Amino acid sequence: MINFKQQIAETIYDEALGLSVEEIQGMLEIPADETMGDYAFPCFRLAKVLRMAPQKIAAGIAERIGGCELFAKVEQVNAYVNMFLSRERIAEEVISEIIREGDAYGRTDLGGGKTVIVEYSSPNIAKPFHIGHIRSTVIGNSIYKLYDAVGYHVIRINHLGDYGTQFGKMIVAYRKWGSEAELEKAPIQSLLGYYTKFHTEAEKDPSLDDEAREAFVKLEHGEPEETALWERFRELSLQEFNRVYDMLGISFDSYAGESFYSDKMPAILEEMKEKGLLVKSRGAQIVDLEPYGMTPAMITKSDGSSLYVTRDIAAAMYRKKTYDFYKNIYVVASQQNLHFKQWKKVLELMGYEWQEDCIHVPFGLVSLKDGTMSTRHGRVVFLEDVLNQAIEKTAEIMRDKNTPGVDIDEVAREVGIGAVIFQELSNNRIKDYVFDWDKVLNFDGETGPYVQYTHARACSVLRNAAEEDLAAIRAGNVDYSYLTGESANALIKMLYQVPEVIADAAAKYEPSILTRHLIDVAQKFNKFYHDEHILVDDPAEKRAKLALVLASKTVIANCLGLLGVKAPERM
């Protein structure tokens, strides 16, 4: 597709200005007020070079480029050159490319096939997959899709929390209060009950914590009984997790969790020792990070067991060796900011410059109306329950509206789950928020169901069109002069920006950039739909408008896909 900014920059370029085409392109602005043009070029910077008032410079440039066929109008306003692109030219360039590229529209090869790892979701086994996990899960899944869309080879890793002292606690709790029959009937609920009871009882009897530490040390040393219990908890947990992942349409290339790196840690400890980084502290081994403004990084406890830092260092080294990544992205809550700074600094002290390519993408936390969630106290909202209630609510709405010809069960699943995902990705990821059933299941306003309905509306228009008109559009037989009205032009400009928006969202690890733009696309489409009668009698006008509907439908479906949301054709 034509790069309008580059075309404008090449048109403005004049050796006397002392600016390269690239510099001019970087200076171009999109006015907040559409009446001021599609693009504006500020001339303040040129005043010193040309020793001339910026208003006069702007007037000279406007006069020089005004006759270019790229523009419908060029005008000088104060120190700005305001440029209005030819609406017919924009319509032809944008719509024809979208129809030609189809599902591939918005995709680029910016990444050049370089490998990017995205680690996301990463729940703890033997604990509930609760609403708090949705943030890492859907943000990470969208980041994976965005990086894939801009040309990277992406490896998706679910770094399961399947190691650590908490499993010693779970083993002790199961031995004291658990049964295989309970596990079979309700695995995660039973394990949560045992875990909650452990903490209640440990407050009365602190010796339980000593038992848990001892059980975990045995697990690290591969004792058969502890290992068998741990493997059972892991197997049951994965069955539960995969049911939720299937609902969300999410999969992974690797489930290598913390336990995967247990046999790789001795060599790393030896390397740290050889490089003089380890210091004894109360029986534990640490790396002193106080000179760098951080608390010490504890590498092993006094009983010799490993910690998160050690395992994350081992994981990063394994990934670099195995995948030779360009970027190693971690979608993990902002609570872990210090943790990531610590282990990255340890890698740096070990001499690994590639630690700079390990990128922590933090996000805000989810809390309940009456406080923070806590698995220790059994205060959680199961993610599967949220998704099922969203599906049920959607099905009720659809039955009330009496939608003949629609598979209510299938569409309710797509729309209900889509509503939850879209709501998660609508706001800046770093913001904390309070989980509220009413808000999550409210389908009015700037929501996923609104965008999905817009897609279904476009599909309905296309179903009502004659096949000969659609065939003519695909063959390029379109008169774009019928698409120069305000609402059509506003929509086309939004569609044109999509590849740039996708690249920006990937670069900033921020799916909400795409989500907000997609809402704007849907709003602009609906305005066009209401302003213009599409299936008119005039064949040329009808085909032009149908071409814009087809392009809009394609873009909305593509963007929903990058968010991990389905695009129903009927609602």
281, β-bridge pairs: 284
In the annotation, is 130 catalytic? yes
> How far, in Å, are 5, 15, 17, 82, 567 from residue 26 at the CA level?
9, 17, 15, 16, 35
C-beta of residue 14 within 8 angstroms of C-beta of residue 24: no
* Residues whose CB is less than 8 angstroms from the CB of residue 309 and which lie 6 or more positions away in sequence, other chains included: 297, 298, 299, 339, 342, 343, 346
C-beta of residue 140 within 8 angstroms of C-beta of residue 120: yes
Which strands form 80-85's sheet, in the order they lie side by side? Answer: 39-42, 80-85, 71-77
What is the spatial distance between Cα 218 and Cα 216, in angstroms, rounded to a whole number?
Answer: 5
What per-residue string of b and e applies to 298-321 under the rule 16 or more CB within 10 Å gives b?
Answer: bbbbeeebbbbbbbbbbbbbebbe
From 5, 48, 114, 133, the catalytic residue? 133
What is the spatial distance between Cα 540 and Cα 214, in angstroms, rounded to a whole number?
Answer: 79
C-beta of residue 12 within 8 angstroms of C-beta of residue 5: no
Which strands form 433-434's sheet, in the order they lie side by side? Answer: 371-372, 366-368, 433-434
C-beta of residue 71 within 8 angstroms of C-beta of residue 451: no
In the annotation, is 133 catalytic? yes
Backbone angles phi, psi at 331, to 5 degrees: -95, 90
What type of residue sits at position 36? M
Lookup: tokens for 540: 């040329």
From 130, 169, 553, 566, the catalytic residue? 130
What is the spatial distance between Cα 466 and Cα 558, in angstroms, rounded to a whole number?
Answer: 24
C-beta of residue 325 within 8 angstroms of C-beta of residue 357: yes
What is the spatial distance between Cα 320 and Cα 241, in angstroms, rounded to a whole number?
Answer: 27
From 48, 73, 114, 127, the catalytic residue? 127
Q: Which of 156, 152, 134 is nearest to 429 (CA)?
A: 134
Q: Which of 250, 157, 144 is nearest to 506 (CA)?
A: 144
Lookup: tokens for 381: 């909202």
What is the spatial distance between Cα 351 and Cα 112, in angstroms, rounded to a whole number?
Answer: 28
Backbone angles phi, psi at 529, to 5 degrees: -60, -40
What is the spatial distance between Cα 494 and Cα 517, in angstroms, rounded to a whole number?
Answer: 8
Q: What is the 3-state secondary structure (H, E, C) of 326-343?
A: CEEEEECCHHHHHHHHHH
Question: How open is the CA angle 558-561-567, to the nearest 5 degrees?
Answer: 85
Catalytic residues: 127, 130, 133
